[in-house]
Amino acid sequence: MKKKHLKLKKKAWFILSLIIFIPIAIISFIKIKQDYEYKKTYEYRFLEQDYTKEEYNLLAKYFDDNKLEDLLNKDKDTLLLDFLKNDKFIIDNLDRYLNFYNKYRVGVDEVILNVNLNLDYDWYDEISEVDTSKDILMLVNKYNILPEDYEPDDLVSISVKYAWGSGNTIRKEAYEAFVKMWDDAYDKGIYLIINLGYRSYQEQEAVYNRLLNARNRKYADSISARPGHSEHQTGLALDIFEKSNSNTETFKDSEAYAWLKDNAYKYGFILRYTKENEGITGFNAEDWHYRYVGIKAAKEITEQNLTFEEYYFYNVK
């Protein structure tokens, strides 16, 4: 009886250990298999190659297996990672970033800015049509052309009180902003005067062709925008001088220039072409050319010292 009891006890122990052992064996087996599978993954292989998990995730986000294999065959590509980590990075531009970097050896931020703004192309290369749906924030420059028949539908005449001669027009919203600005400048003893507002494609074409015929393309390009590439066709650009000084050479020394530089943004205008941003705008400095973009954008552009190209690319597009 005692023996039987002992036998039973032994059996119970045996069953109990099986109950404990089998799941452990199964779990261990699964674990080993998972480890084995994991070691075959790109994640594991990249971590082994000194990439961090975040870096691997970035690579996996942008690249297919072929490219990942390529990268694993090389040392850790820190330059590539610097591009991927930049918040302005655009995958479609990657080859252009690398070409630009190899050519100019400038920092990643500068490479990305230049390429994102198309500055790796020659002026008037790779032209797209202006997105006029952006309305007062539309971008017209050497890479963005307005159609021949584009004409704003809310042009209003500029009073001769504010402009040299009659016949100048401008979009209504810009005109209202200008009149407010004019009043405030006038209170400070400054008489602002507009030299040019809206200009049609055909008029721009005539101006450009005159310069072209007088000399050559290089000369014409240095002075005038090609037809479709002038901001004046938007009806949002104004050439603003002072009544007593409308001289392009000396306007920069005038009181009006200084006042506009400090105050124009409060009314929604920005000085569009400055000496320091010639490399981005593609136009020589024009101390008198103001563009209406609305108060919010003008404030941000002025406070952050941006070109309109940068602002457009990162905030509007």
Site residues for Zn ion per CB under 5 A: 239, 289
Q: Which is nearer to Zn ion, 83 or 283 (CB)?
A: 283
Question: Min. distance of Cβ 50 from Zn ion in angstroms?
Answer: 54
Q: Which is nearer to Zn ion, 239 or 242 (CB)?
A: 239
Question: Min. distance of Cβ 157 from Zn ion in angstroms?
Answer: 18
Nearest-angstrom CA–CA distance, 269 and 3: 104
Residue 163's φ and ψ, nearest 5 degrees, are: -140, 155
Question: Min. distance of Cβ 267 from Zn ion in angstroms?
Answer: 17
Token pair for residue 257? 């220039």
Q: What single-letter amino acid sits at 125?
A: D
Contact 88, 112 (CB under 8 A): yes
What DSSP string describes 69-81?
Answer: HHHHTSS--HHHH
Q: Which is nearer to Zn ion, 239 or 309 (CB)?
A: 239
Q: What single-letter amino acid sits at 173?
A: E
What is the bridge-based pairing of β-strands 286-292 and 237-242?
Answer: antiparallel
Instruction: For residue 37, indicate whether it is catalytic.
Output: no
Q: Which is nearer to Zn ion, 173 or 239 (CB)?
A: 239
Helices then strands, each counted (H, E), the chain: 14, 8
Active-site residue (options: 176, 205, 255, 286): 286
Question: Min. distance of Cβ 55 from Zn ion in angstroms?
Answer: 47
Chain position whose Cβ is nearest to Zn ion:
289
* Beta partners for residue 170, in sequence order: 156
Q: Active-site residue numbers?
A: 286
